[in-house]
Chains A and B, each alone.
Chain A
Amino acid sequence: MPDLRELYQEVILDHNKRPRNFRKLEGANRMAEGYNPLCGDHVTVYLHLEGDVIKDISFQGSGCAIAKASASIMTSHLKGMSKGTALLFFEKFHQMVTGNCHTDPDPLEMEDLDVFSGVSKYPVRVKCASLAWHALRAALVEGEKTVSTE
C-alpha cells in the first residue's frame, strides 16, 4: 500500500505553498500552455531563450499541489540549462513518474526532481506531475506560441 507521504513529500508541500518563479515572465520569447481537461488544471510556461540556453523560466496557472509543485521545481531546476539538457530531463522525468525508469547508469542526476518518484504509484497523478513539463516541451520543441516581445 503506497504511503501518502511518499506522494506529498515535504518539498512538494513547500513548493505548493510557496511556488518559485510563479509569475509572468517579462521578456519571454517562448511560451506554451498545458491544460488537463479531466481536472481543469492549466499552466502557462514562459521561457526566455538566448540561443540555446534557458536564460529565464517562469510559470503561471492553477492546479493541484502536485501540478503546482512540479512546475515550481521544474523552473528552478532548468534555469540556465541548455535546451538539449532540458529535453533530456523531460524524458527522464517522464520515465520516473510513469515508473519506467531505465536501469542503465544515467549521467543525469535527478536531484530535487526525485521528490516526484512517489507519483508512479498513483497513475492518476502522472498527468498532474507532467503537465508543466509537457508545456515546457511544447515551448522548446514545437515553439507552439511565440510571445511577442513588444
Chain B
Amino acid sequence: MTTATKASMPARVREREALADPGVFSATGAAPPPGLRTVPDPPFEVRKIRDDFPILQQRVHDKPLVYFDNAATTQKPQVVIDTLWRYYTADNANIHRGVHLLSQRATQDYEDSRVKVQRFINAALAREVIFVRGATEGINLVAQTYGRKHVQAGDEIILSAMEHHSNIVPWQMLCEEKGARLRVVPINDDGDILLEEYEKLLGPRTKLVSVVHVSNALGTVNPIRQIIEMAHRQNVPVLVDGAQAVPHFRVDVRDLDCDFYVFSGHKVYGPTGIGIVYGKADLLEAMPPYQGGGDMISSVTFEKTTYNTLPYKFEAGTPHIAGAIGLGAAIDYLNGVGLDRIGAHERELLTYATNAISGIPGLRIIGTAKEKAGVLSFVLDDIHPHDIGQVLDDQGIAIRAGHHCAMPVMKRLGVPATARVSLALYNTKQEIDALVGAIQKIREVFQ
C-alpha cells in the first residue's frame, strides 16, 4: 500500500490491520518503502528467510522438506499469502469501473502493483507493463500481435537451441500460419550459445529474435545484452524470456534495451496465474490488441470499436486482480531482502552444490556454461532421472526429473532427461549436504 493511499484511507488501514494476524511479518501496511525495510544484517541469514515461508516448515515422508524444484515454481512468503487473504477478505471488487469504495481500493492496489513491476524491471513507464497469466501467455501475446502484424511469408524468427517449449511453439504456430520459418542458434556442449553462429543467422529476413535469459534446463545465463545489440544493429527487435532470470538477479530492461521481456509471477515468489509482458511503449502502441473484450476498449458500437490506451488495450476481461496484487507483495518482499543479496547467496549455493556433487562417482553435470544461475542438472550412471527423483522424494527432497519442457536441448546434449536441482533464496548448504547423502543412497538402491 502506498503512503498516499494510507493517508487518504485511514479507515481502510484500520480495517486491514484488524484483519491481519498481528504476529505475521508483512510487507504491506506499515512496512517502510522498499530498500529501507529492516532486513537481516549481512551475512545473509537464511534461517530468518526460511521463517517467512510457512510451507518449508513441514516434513515429508517423515523427513524435513528440502525444496529444490524452484525453477518449476517457488514457494510463497507469508506476506504474499497474507496479501491474497487480505485482498479477498477486505477489498475484493472488480477494477476500473466501480464508483464504490471497494472497487477503488482494488483498482488502486492493482495499479500500484503495476508500478512495483515497472520499478522492479526499471521500465520507463508503468503502461509498458501488461499483466498476463504468465511468461507463456506473454510470449503468445507478442506472437499473436506483433508477430502476426510483422511476420510474413519467407521471414525468419531466431530462437536459441535451449528454449523452453513456451518459446518455441508459439513461434512455430505463427510460422505455420504465415509461411515463415524458425532459425535456431546452436549451443556448444557446455550449453553456451554460439554467438558467431547467431551473427550468421541474423539477416534481412529476420523479423524477431526471441531468446531465453536463463535456461530452465541448464542454468545458462545468456549474454543477452550482446544478443540484443547484435539484433539491433540490423533493426531486429528482441523478446527476452526472463522467467528464470528475475528470481535470481536484478533485471533492467532499459539497460538491456530489450524490446519485450516476459516473466511469471509464481517463479518469483508470487501467485500462479499472473505474469508480465514488458514492451517498449512505441512498439506496444503500434500493435493490434491481443484479445477482445471488456476493459480493452474506449468505445464500442456494432459498427466500430475504439481500443483503449496502454496497457489496457492488452488486458481484455477481468484480470487476475488478486494475483497482480500478490505479485506486488512478492516484489516488495524481494526488495526488502535485496536481490543482490539473494543473488550472492544463490551463487554461493550453486558453487557449493556443483563442487559437492561433482565428486560423486558416475555423476555428470548437464549444463556447464561459463555463467549460470540457480539450476544444476545432472545424470547419474544409467539410472533414469525419474528413479532419481523418486528416491530423493523418499528422502524428503523435491527435485524435477524429465526433459523440463525443453526437449530440443535434451536431444542436443544427448540425454533423454535429467535430474534438476533448482535453487531459491531459502535453500541452505545443509540441504545440499542432504542431497549429496541421498544421491549416495540412490546408487546403493540401483547398483
Which A residues have a C-beta under 8 Å from some C-beta of B?
1, 4, 7-8, 13, 16-17, 38-41, 62-68, 122, 125, 128
Query: Which of these, B384, B390, B391, B394, contacts A63 with CB under 8 Å?
Result: B384
Given contacts A4-B391, A40-B410, A125-B390, contact A65 B417 (CB under 8 A): no
Interchain CB contact under 8 A, A39 and B61: no
Interchain CB contact under 8 A, B416 and A62: yes
Interchain CB contact under 8 A, A39 and B445: no
Given contacts A4-B391, A39-B402, A39-B417, contact A65 B446 (CB under 8 A): yes
7 A-B pairs in the complex with CB atoms less than 8 angstroms apart: A4-B391, A16-B446, A39-B401, A40-B402, A63-B386, A64-B385, A65-B446
Q: In the complex, how many angstroms separate the beta carbon of A4 from the nearest chain B beta carbon? A: 5
Given contacts A4-B391, A63-B384, A125-B390, contact A40 B445 (CB under 8 A): no
Q: In the complex, how many angstroms separate the beta carbon of B69 from the nearest chain A beta carbon? A: 14
A-B pairs under 8 A by CB, number:
48
Q: Per-position contact with A for B269-282: 1 when CB-CB < 8 Å, else 0?
A: 00000000000000
Q: In the complex, how many angstroms separate the beta carbon of A9 from the nearest chain B beta carbon? A: 11
Interchain CB contact under 8 A, A13 and B384: no
Interchain CB contact under 8 A, B446 and A13: yes
With a cutoff of 8 Å between Cβ atoms, the chain A residues found around residue B384 in the complex are 41, 62-65, 67-68
With a cutoff of 8 Å between Cβ atoms, the chain B residues found around residue A64 in the complex are 384-387, 390
B407 at the interface (CB under 8 A from A): yes
With a cutoff of 8 Å between Cβ atoms, the chain A residues found around residue B164 in the complex are none
Q: Per-position contact with A for B412-425: 1 when CB-CB < 8 Å, else 0?
A: 00001100000000
Query: Residue on B with the closest CB to A62?
Result: B416
Complex Cα spacing A88 to B384, Å:
30
Interchain CB contact under 8 A, B390 and A4: yes
Query: Residue on B with the closest CB to A5?
Result: B445
B62 at the interface (CB under 8 A from A): yes
With a cutoff of 8 Å between Cβ atoms, the chain A residues found around residue B417 in the complex are 39-40
With a cutoff of 8 Å between Cβ atoms, the chain B residues found around residue A65 in the complex are 383-384, 387, 446
Interface centre among B385, B391, B401, B402 (most CB of A within 10 A): B402
B116 at the interface (CB under 8 A from A): no
Complex Cα spacing A39 to B402, Å:
5
Q: In the complex, how many angstroms separate the beta carbon of B148 from the nearest chain A beta carbon? A: 28
Interchain CB contact under 8 A, A40 and B403: yes
With a cutoff of 8 Å between Cβ atoms, the chain A residues found around residue B385 in the complex are 64
Complex Cα spacing A8 to B394, Å:
12
With a cutoff of 8 Å between Cβ atoms, the chain B residues found around residue A16 in the complex are 446
Q: Which B186-240 residues have C-beta < 8 A from chain A?
A: none
Interchain CB contact under 8 A, B390 and A7: yes
Complex Cα spacing A8 to B385, Å:
15
Q: Which B387-415 residues have C-beta < 8 A from chain A?
A: 387, 390-391, 394, 401-403, 407, 410
Complex Cα spacing A136 to B446, Å:
27
Complex Cα spacing A4 to B387, Å:
11
Interchain CB contact under 8 A, B394 and A40: no
With a cutoff of 8 Å between Cβ atoms, the chain A residues found around residue B394 in the complex are 4
Q: In the complex, how many angstroms separate the beta carbon of B300 from the nearest chain A beta carbon? A: 42
Interchain CB contact under 8 A, B61 and A1: yes
Query: Which of these, B61, B62, B383, B407, contacts A40 with CB under 8 Å?
Result: B407
Q: In the complex, how many angstroms separate the beta carbon of B312 from the nearest chain A beta carbon? A: 37
